């Protein structure tokens, strides 16, 4: 029997937005959600026009998220979940409004702009017992889930070194001064928070390192730079990490790396072998064993045996999958959690939680503190 679609709302993601349409495509891919309501812009005229573009009932297009949360919670067919795709500074008040209205939340990263807000959200999620998913979307890739299971099964031995980098070049020039919408808010501390590249892409890298290895970072040392003249927030970061088992890590996040498009790369080294994965070639996972031959595992190929990886694949081997499919896997995870909500027992899920979001915000906070103190070690515990 086909399950009913989950009634979904959206905050942000109106005309001219990038990530809102990504969330909408991801939510549609497995036909698990139906978008019914939105507060799609802080500008009421743009919000209404955006809702019309998406075919929403004008009565369910709202001027602000507070009014939306209050109204939808009273409707018999009100939304069951909301996707929050606004600039960072609105994540906390929007998420709080919907949680208090009894509505599940799917929130873009980073979770909030401060540790205090992130801790308050985590406490509210626990108090209300609702589903809260943070869209660290790279954890949805099949071969990332394969890598996670291989590490957990001990195929690499004891993990010694973790190297993670996320390099882009789209902020290599001061395009925010030209009014470029995406750059304008991401380089503005009032809307982005204390972190620039570390908040926007560094949190992705940090989460991926912990997700694949199963290790928690205990401390960090950060060297942050703003290479573009006049820019307040960092556009390049070098960060050293110490993990819970004694492993050492290096994280590089840059948005001024000339020639790099979306260069997210993870390498994990154990005392028996290593794994390497690149987001720009997401259908291959390189596996090397000490003193043995190099293996290249392909998505949906014979060597991919992890249940979580095969369940995250939609197409036969040789047919590439990528960004939208990985993102959609988190929406599918969220749908499973929402539809299992209230059932007896615990539903196992790989979806990033509010606690993962809190760790990401703490990572940003401690990196900024480390840099400001002259690049000294800061505890993450």
Same domain, 306 and 157: yes
275 and 298, same structural domain? yes
Q: Are 149 and 291 within one domain?
A: yes
Mark whether 148 and 90 lie in a shared domain. Answer: no
- Tell me, yes or no, if the pTM score tops 0.75: yes
* Residue 380 resides in a domain: no
Range of the domain at 274: 139-315+354-372
* Residue 144 shares a structural domain with residue 51: no
The CA distances from residue 14 to 21, 128, 256, 333, in Å, are 8, 29, 27, 25
**Per-residue confidence in pLDDT tens, the chain, 381 aa:** 667 999 999 999 999 899 999 999 999 999 999 999 999 999 999 999 999 999 999 999 999 999 999 999 999 999 999 999 999 999 999 999 999 999 999 999 999 999 999 999 999 999 999 999 999 999 999 999 999 999 999 999 999 999 999 999 999 999 999 999 999 999 999 999 999 999 999 999 999 999 999 999 999 999 999 999 999 999 999 999 999 999 999 999 999 999 999 999 999 999 999 999 999 999 999 999 999 989 999 999 989 999 999 999 999 999 999 999 999 999 999 999 999 997 766 678 999 999 999 999 999 999 999 999 999 999 998
- Among 103, 130, 157, where does a domain finish? 130
Same domain for 175 and 77: no
Q: Are residues 260 and 291 in the same domain?
A: yes
How many Cβ atoms sit within 10 Å of the Cβ of residue 341? 14
Distance from C-alpha of 72 to C-alpha of 81, rounded to nearest angstrom: 10
CA 240 – CA 252 distance, rounded (Å): 9
CATH no. for residue 25? 3.40.50.720
């Amino acid at each position: 029997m086909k399950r009913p679609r989950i009634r979904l709302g959206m905050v942000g993601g109106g005309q001219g937005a990038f990530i809102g349409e990504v969330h909408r495509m991801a939510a549609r891919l497995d036909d698990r959600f139906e978008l019914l309501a939105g507060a799609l812009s802080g500008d009421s005229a743009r919000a209404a026009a955006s809702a019309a573009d998406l075919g929403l009932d004008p009565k369910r297009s709202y001027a602000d998220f507070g009014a939306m949360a209050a109204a939808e919670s009273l409707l018999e067919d009100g939304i069951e979940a909301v996707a929050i795709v606004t600039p960072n500074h609105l994540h906390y008040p929007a998420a709080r409004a919907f949680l208090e209205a009894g509505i599940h939340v799917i929130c873009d990263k980073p979770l909030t702009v401060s540790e205090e807000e992130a801790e308050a959200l985590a406490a509210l999620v626990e108090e209300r017992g609702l589903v809260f998913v943070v869209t660290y979307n790279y954890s949805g890739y099949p071969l990332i889930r394969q890598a996670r299971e291989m590490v957990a099964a001990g195929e690499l031995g004891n993990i010694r070194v973790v190297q993670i980098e996320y390099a882009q070049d789209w902020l290599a020039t001061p395009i925010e001064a030209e009014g470029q919408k995406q750059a304008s808010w991401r380089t503005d501390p009032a809307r982005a928070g204390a972190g620039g590249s570390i908040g926007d892409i560094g949190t992705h890298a940090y989460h991926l390192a912990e997700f694949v290895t199963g290790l928690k970072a205990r401390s960090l040392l950060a060297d942050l730079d703003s290479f573009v003249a006049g820019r307040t927030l960092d556009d390049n970061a070098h960060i050293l990490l110490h993990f819970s088992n004694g492993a050492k890590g290096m994280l590089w996040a840059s948005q001024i790396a000339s020639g790099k498009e979306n260069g997210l790369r993870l390498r994990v080294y154990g005392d028996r072998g290593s794994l390497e994965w690149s987001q720009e070639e997401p259908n291959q996972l390189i596996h090397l064993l000490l003193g043995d031959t190099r293996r290249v595992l392909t998505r949906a190929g014979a060597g991919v045996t992890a249940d979580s990886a095969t369940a995250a694949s939609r197409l036969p081997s040789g047919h590439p999958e990528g960004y939208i499919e990985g993102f959609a896997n988190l929406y599918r995870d969220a749908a499973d959690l929402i539809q299992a909500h209230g059932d007896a027992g615990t539903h196992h899920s790989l979806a990033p939680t509010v606690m993962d979001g809190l760790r990401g915000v703490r990572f940003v906070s401690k990196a900024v503190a480390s840099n400001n103190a002259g690049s000294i070690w800061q505890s993450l515990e």
